[in-house]
Amino acid sequence: MLYGMEDDYDKEFGQLIKKEKSKKNKIMLIVAIIIACILVIYASFSISYHFINKKVDLSQNNMSNVNNNKSDEKKSTLTKKNAKVYNGEHTQIAIHDMEKIKTKFIPQPNENAQNLIKEIYKSDEKQVYLTFDDGPSKKITPQILDILKQYDVKATFFLLGSRVELYPDLVKREFEEGHYIANHGYSHKYSQIYQSKDTTFAEYVQCENAIKNALGNPDYNSYLFRFPGGSSGGKYEEVKSQARELFNTYGVAYTNWNCLTGDAENKKTKEECIQEMINTKNNQNSIILLMHDANDKQQTVDALPEIIQYFKNEGYTFKNFYEIFK
């Protein structure tokens, strides 16, 4: 009997165990399903968030590109409105196209230049070369350039190398406005310049290098020199004579003047300068007029408009030395 009762108990106990296992399996299945659902929901949310962000980024990029394009168009329009044009007597060239401007105005060597300059003094043509020595200067040169621009007249500036180094921007302005940049030596100290023909030529070279640096153009050569105090006469005549031959050897011409305002002498008012110019002009038709644009030459500034008007009234053509070295 006892044996039979144990069998029944074992059967009941086994059934209880099976029921407990079944119950646990159901709970684990439910938990697994819940976890799986949570993972699916999380994955779906992540994917959706990624695509939404990507779409926003694309939209922002597109808007940025549109705004940039609009900004570029605006800048382009402003640039066109503010663009300036060179309005000299030569071909109109955009102000930024400096290479064409430089090419247009770079003097070219002319083996016949000295003879052509001599012919100016003998010519019966009504022509006038306005020339300015001893500059540039901070006070006077800009005023002279303003007047020349106002009257659309081109002049020739015989520059001192020591002054060029002080005011390179004024040299650039002279150049860009169509005036001829020529050479007047470096120091203007006679005892230094005229020690020998070689020191005279060395002054020319030193000034020429200063001009090249100011213009930012190593290819620029003026080929034209004005001897301080004139190319002949005085206590340095022998040195000047030798120097003239040396300059000719290197293809460099020189020029003096046949008319002047006396602004480097005792003529301190514009009326005195104008009268001196008329007196020294005399009956000559072809004129090379000597003036100065050093810092103490306000009388030259004051007289210049009337001088220009005088020659216009007399039917003169204004020239500079690009005519010879073009």
Annotated catalytic residues are: 133, 292
* Own/partner long-range contacts of 301-306 (Cβ < 8 Å, ≥24 apart): 301/140, 301/143, 301/144, 301/147, 302/269, 302/270, 302/273, 303/261, 303/263, 303/270, 303/271, 303/273, 303/274, 303/277, 304/144, 304/147, 304/148, 305/147, 305/150, 305/151, 306/270, 306/274
**SS3 string of 148-171?**
HHHHCCCCEEEECHHHHHHCHHHH
